[in-house]
Amino acid sequence: MTVALFVEQLMNGVQFGVTLFLMSAGLTLVFGIMNMINLTHGTIYMAGAFVAATVAHATGSFLLGLVSGVSGAALLGLGLEAVILRRFYARSHLDQVLVTFGLILVFSDLFRMIWGPVALSMPMPQALSGFVAIFPGVDYPVYRLVILLAGLAVAVALYFLVSHSRAGMWVRAGSSDRQTAQALGVNVRLLFGGVFAVGSAFAGLAGVMAAPLTAVQIGMGDPVLILALVVTVVGGVGSIRGAFLAALMIGIIDTFGRVLLPAALGSMLIFILMAVILALRPRGLFVVHG
């Protein structure tokens, strides 16, 4: 492998890792803070992409599509939490898996009824469709760099929000002792709904950012959900820092594995990595919030 090809694949891996972080950040928040296994996260990712593609085609504006996709994903997550999922916070993880898996099937058929079985395309903004030289002999797509920078900005903002803000303190208090937090005047129900909406918005953002690079189609969130679950487990449930580092690690390893190894082995590599890490550190890389 030449140096130029190595740099290009490394950037692809980092960009993929950042996209995984956008997806897994909401998942690890909901799982770590609210003890809720939410398999509908992949459906919310898909919803953000479908809404964004539809609005972008109708208006000709990528920005309007971006705002609509993120907002639609947040509203969908908030609605699911308020109507269905909050009733399962105190239930077993098996019940949570069953109800959210059922919702995946329901929304897959619903989206097929609305948008049909044919994949949509998301137009890339003209201003971001060029290339920029990042290394001698390596011209990298501007759009992928924008995804990378957006993910880094979200990671920093989310870390400080959860670990160094009053809202983050309320969330951690509500997750540790809900009754005491309520007695101190914290509206835990509203707070948990807000956490769910923020996590869903991140999933929608990941779907919107990935849409111009892939087909917007039914089931597009399923493989990303699996990888996001791997990121959440490897990084440590509830740890934003762990999710970020695990996402970068998995993105880079998956990218190089698919380039350098046979297809079957390349696909297995991240699951082998997960098994090794969990054998050495059963609770993941980090076990505390943030």
Q: What is the pTM of this model?
A: 0.89
Q: What pLDDT, on the 0 to 100 scale, is given for residue 181? A: 67
How is residue 92 written in tokens? 């077993």
**Which residue has tokens 């760099």?**
145
* Top-confidence range, 19-28, 196-205, 237-246: 196-205
Angle between helices 142-163 and 188-210 (to 10 degrees): 170
Quick one: average pLDDT of 159-168?
76
Q: Is the pLDDT of residue 156 over 50?
A: yes
- Contacts of 262 by beta carbon, 8 Å cutoff, 6+ apart: none
Can you give the residue ranges of every domain in the chain? 3-280
**Least confident segment among 25-29, 110-114, 203-207, 221-225:** 25-29
Q: What pLDDT, on the 0 to 100 scale, is given for residue 184? A: 66
Q: Is the pLDDT of residue 174 over 70?
A: no
- pLDDT digits over 201-227, tens only? 999 999 999 999 888 999 999 988 998
Does the domain at residues 3-280 carry the CATH identifier 2.60.40? no
Q: Is the pLDDT of residue 167 over 90?
A: no
Quick one: average pLDDT of 88-104?
91
Q: How far apart are CA 2 and CA 20, in angstroms?
A: 27
Q: Is the pLDDT of residue 267 over 80?
A: no
- pLDDT digits over 178-187, tens only? 677 667 676 7
- pLDDT digits over 60-74, tens only? 899 999 999 999 999
